[in-house]
Amino acid sequence: MSVHSTLTPSAYTMLREQYASRLPTSLEELAGPTTGTVDLPLHVVWSGRRSYGLSQPRSQMSLYRTVLAEGQQQDLVAFLNRGLLIAQWPMLRTLISRPLRDAWEDRFPELPADKGKAVTAA
C-alpha cells in the first residue's frame, strides 16, 4: 500500500493547501538555471545531497523533486525553471505526493496531467 493512499481526506486537504500557499503566481516566475550545478541551501535540504548537476537527467529530476516538496516560494522561483519543469512534469508528477501534484496541476493548467498531454517546454 502506498503512503498516498493512507492519507485521510483532511490530511490530504491540509497538505494540498500548504503546498498551494507556496506556489508562484505564474510559471513565468520560475527563472532558475538550466545548466551548471545547483547547490541547495540547508533550509531546503537539511541532510544528504545538496549539490545537483543539471546536465544529468537523474540529478535534475532529484533537484526538482526536492525543491517542489521542501522549498518555499522564493526557492521555487530561484531554483526551478519553467521550461525544465514543463518538460519533466509527465515523469516528475509520478514521483511526488498526490497533494503536491494536485496543487501544481490545479494552479497551472499548462502542466500536462499525463504523457499524452505533454507540451513543448519552449
Q: What is the pLDDT of residues 36-82, one digit of tens each?
A: 999 999 999 988 899 999 999 999 999 999 999 999 999 999 999 99
| C-alpha gyration radius of the chain | 14
CA dihedral sign, ordered 98, 107, 118, 30:
negative
Given a contact cutoff of 8 angstroms between Cβ atoms, the answer to whether 18 and 71 are in contact is: no
Q: Give the pTM.
A: 0.84
> pLDDT-based confidence at 105, cuts 50/70/90?
very high
Residue at grid coordinates 499548462: 110
Tell me the CA distances in angstroms from 57 to 15, 35, 81, one per residue in order: 28, 11, 14
